[in-house]
Amino acid sequence: MDGRTHTVDVNPGETVTVAGWVHEVRDLGGIAFLILRDTTGKIQIVFKEDEMDADLVGTGLGVARESVITVTGDAEEHSNAPGGVEVTPESVEVLAESDTELPLDPSGKVDADLSTRLDNRTLDLRKEEVKAIFEIRAEVLRSVREAFYDLGSTEINTPKIVATGTEGGTELFPITYFGEEAFMNQSPQLFKQLMVGSGLERVFEIGPIFRAEEHNTPRHLNEATMIDFESAFFDHTEAMDACEHVVRNAYDGVAANCQRELELLGLEDAFEVPDEAFPRLTYQEAIERINATGELDEQLVWGDDLPTEGERALGDDVGSHYFITDWPSEIKPFYIKDHDGDADLSTGFDMMHPVMELVSGGQREHRYDHLVTGFEQQGLDPDQFDYYTKMFKYGMPPHAGWGLGVERLVMTMLGLENIREAVLFPRDRQRLSP
């Protein structure tokens, strides 16, 4: 397309034009090697000072590391070269010169801390093991979409600028919208629910969510990407089935299409597609099992949120992805439906990776009166949500769904220590640019 040959496609015996970044120059005196890197790999360009035009050698060996060059020449077999071929250049053109002082070393010989890496993400992503994370993230998104198509759902996009929040007032980012107060949306929850009552019935969205969480943790971002699903006529168990299908498909896609990336991350042996159905524990069973591990100073009782150490202890105990179901209604959001005949027991569920929560979901309250009461109990003014509640008066089917954080999915899949590793340009308490 762009008239060049990718380094991976260069065959001995061909005249090729390759283009990319100067990874390294090794001058052995008389003979020198320039390693050129592009998105597919690396190739060796050989310079023989006695046999070649002095200007050509001067250009090739004088260019700073990480400059962008294009090289035309003959490819020959060379067993010691990366990829087994080397190119003898007929011409070298410098397309973009790099400064000799680099803020970080893309060859990876010198380690950089995460903050320096994030400040210089472009250079950081020239490292193939960093690039691998984002190739895998893209594969996760591709296979998640594929799983949603299997489920017969339609992709939607909903507003990110909204008049009101739903997931608790303190986590909202206020903005000014033509002189009026507005907010960045915390979740597409209400919009996706409105769509199950539309002609679409079963929908998914992959998009940003914004949460003004004050704390800086290795698993929270202030802007994250959420995978949301919602289906008419599903109950919470069917929503869990769909969740399991989507997560499993993401693992399958990575196993099938990202072997090279897994190798670059040293995960070719460690990476496992979950093979068993995810166990479904009730909240009551979960707190009993956590208490039995003896890891917590105080025993958990009905109604407690699960502390992070408790989640960890249970994750170790279960050893795979699992669901926690049947939560106390009081610690689940108002839009989650209670079990019929038990107002204290909610149909809400969380899907957990052994080290953290990945998903929250449940069957939704679709009865108008109950919903309006729920808003009031949550301390929200139902009138502000009239655009939403009103639609529950005109035939809103029973429905269920969930939300899954993309970064947490990638982070747990690859065993990354910090969620920021799974985002190109993270937003957190310290970081608003790049």
Q: Which residues are catalytic?
A: 211, 213, 219-220, 357, 360, 408
Task: Flag whether 357 is marked binding.
Answer: yes
Which listed option, ligand ATP, Mg ion, none, makes contact with residue 403 (CB within 5 to 8 Å by class)?
ligand ATP
CB 123 within 8 A of CB 102: yes
Binding residues among 33-92 for ligand ATP as defined by CB under 6 A: none
CB 140 within 8 A of CB 250: yes
Which listed option, ligand ATP, Mg ion, none, makes contact with residue 76 (CB within 5 to 8 Å by class)?
none
Only one of the segments 20-28, 114-122, 340-348, 397-405 lies at the binding site for ligand ATP (rule: CB under 6 A); that segment is: 397-405
| Binds ligand ATP (CB under 6 A): choice among 24, 213, 241, 304 | 213
Which listed option, Mg ion, ligand ATP, none, makes contact with residue 337 (CB within 5 to 8 Å by class)?
none
Q: What is the end-to-end Cα distance of the chain in Å, rounded? A: 31
- Which residue is it, tokens 């839009």? 335
- Which residue is it, tokens 């000014």? 176
| Binds ligand ATP (CB under 6 A): choice among 205, 326, 407, 421 | 407
* 408 touches ligand ATP (CB under 6 A): yes
Which listed option, ligand ATP, Mg ion, none, makes contact with residue 410 (CB within 5 to 8 Å by class)?
none
3-state DSSP call for residue 301?
coil
Which listed option, Mg ion, ligand ATP, none, makes contact with residue 211 (CB within 5 to 8 Å by class)?
ligand ATP
Binding residues among 336-365 for ligand ATP as defined by CB under 6 A: 357-360
Task: Flag whether 260 is marked binding.
Answer: no
DSSP string, 5-31: --GGG--TT-EEEEEEEEEEEEE-SSE
| Residue showing the smallest CB distance to ligand ATP in the complex | 405
3-state DSSP call for residue 41?
strand
Positive or negative CA dihedral for 119, 123, 126, 129? negative
Q: Report how far apart, in Å, the C-alpha atoms of 421 and of each of 113, 182, 252, 261, 427 are.
A: 12, 31, 22, 15, 12
Task: Flag whether 182 is marked binding.
Answer: no
* 403 touches ligand ATP (CB under 6 A): yes
247: its two tokens? 């997560």
Distance from C-alpha of 234 to C-alpha of 244, rounded to nearest angstrom: 14
Q: Which residues pair with 74 in a beta bridge?
A: 15, 88
Which residues, 6 or more positions from 90, have their beta carbon under 8 angstroms from its beta carbon? 56, 72, 73, 74
State the amino acid at position 314 in one-letter form: L
* 321 touches ligand ATP (CB under 6 A): no
103: its two tokens? 């803020």
Residue burial 254-264, b: 16+ Cβ < 10 Å; e: rest: beeebeebbeb
What is the phi/psi pair of residue 335, to 5°?
-80, -5
Only one of the segments 95-103, 151-159, 220-228, 268-276 lies at the binding site for ligand ATP (rule: CB under 6 A); that segment is: 220-228
Distance from C-alpha of 423 to C-alpha of 219, rounded to nearest angstrom: 12
- Which residue is it, tokens 């496609």? 9
Only one of the segments 36-44, 338-346, 399-407, 425-433 lies at the binding site for ligand ATP (rule: CB under 6 A); that segment is: 399-407
Which listed option, Mg ion, ligand ATP, none, makes contact with residue 249 (CB within 5 to 8 Å by class)?
none
Q: How far is the CB of 423 from ligand ATP (least distance, A)?
A: 9
Distance from C-alpha of 160 to C-alpha of 158, rounded to nearest angstrom: 7
Only one of the segments 27-35, 50-58, 274-282, 405-413 lies at the binding site for ligand ATP (rule: CB under 6 A); that segment is: 405-413
* 332 touches ligand ATP (CB under 6 A): no
Distance from C-alpha of 192 to C-alpha of 332, rounded to nearest angstrom: 18
- Could you list the residues that contact Mg ion (CB under 5 A)? 360
Q: How far is the CB of 413 from Mg ion (least distance, A)?
A: 19
Kindly tell me which of 60 and 426 has the beta carbon lying closer to ligand ATP: 426
User: Pattern 150-169, binding to ligand ATP, x per CB under 6 A?
Assistant: -----------------x--
Residues annotated within the binding site for L-aspartate are 167, 211, 360, 364
Residues annotated within the binding site for Mg(2+) are 357, 360
Residues annotated within the binding site are 167, 211-213, 219-221, 357, 360, 364, 405-408
Q: Which residues bind ligand ATP (CB under 6 A)?
A: 167, 211, 213, 220-221, 224, 226, 357-360, 403-405, 407-408
